[in-house]
Structure 1
């Protein structure tokens, strides 16, 4: 199974400040974001959303939410591998895009988002 880095995601109360920092330092620019049921923004470089910002007003400072990787493998194959690992996970699907997201909590507490395009069911 081959994985490609996809994005980093941060939780923050102030999405604009984080957007400005990534824009000023790395030249990332805001772009399209699927209609998730929570506020946020995606920051792009050359057509790739490298940083996802999840806005949560109750936070005092920004924190890493997760690290995402993508694969061309079938989502059912990825899910079977995750289930075999015994690690806790949650499933989600990107609105409109249909990409399956498997959020896996690693032993160190870091969350990995594993993205696959084809269906699970």
Structure 2
């Protein structure tokens, strides 16, 4: 199974400020974001969304939410590996994109998001 870095996600109450900073420092530009049921924005380098900003008004300071990786493997294969690890996880689907997101709670508190194609994973 081959993995590719996909994006970093941050929780913040200051979405516009964070966007402005990433634009000024890294030259990232705002772009398309699927219609998730919570506010946020995606910042792109060319065609790749590298930073996802999750707008959380309860956050006093910006915090790393998760690090995401993607694979061409079927989501059911990825989920089987995650389940075999015994680590806590949650599953979601990107609206309109058909990509499954498997959020894994790693030891020490870090969360990783594993993005995989729908394939045989119809629902969890």
Q: Tell me if TM exceeds 0.5.
A: yes
Aligned residue in 1 for 2:82: 82
Aligned residue in 1 for 2:9: 9
Q: How many residues align?
A: 121
Partners in 2 of 1:9 and 1:51 — Cα distance? 6
3-state SS in 1 of match to 2:11 = strand
State the 1:46 CA deviation: 0.9
TM-score of the superposed pair, with normalisation by structure 2: 0.96
Post-superposition Cα deviations, 1:12-35, rounded to whole Å, max 9, x if no partner, equal 001000000000000000000000
Aligned residue in 2 for 1:102: 102
Partners in 2 of 1:108 and 1:44 — Cα distance? 29
CA-based RMSD of the aligned residues comes to 0.6
Aligned residue in 2 for 1:55: 55
State the 1:67 CA deviation: 0.2
After TM superposition, the structure 1 = structure 2 runs for residues 16-31 of structure 1, keeping only pairs within 5 Å, are 16-31=16-31
Q: Which runs of at least 4 in structure 1 moved beyond 6 Å after TM superposition? A: none
TM-score of the superposed pair, with normalisation by structure 1: 0.99
For structure 1, which runs of at least 5 residues remain unmatched after alignment? none
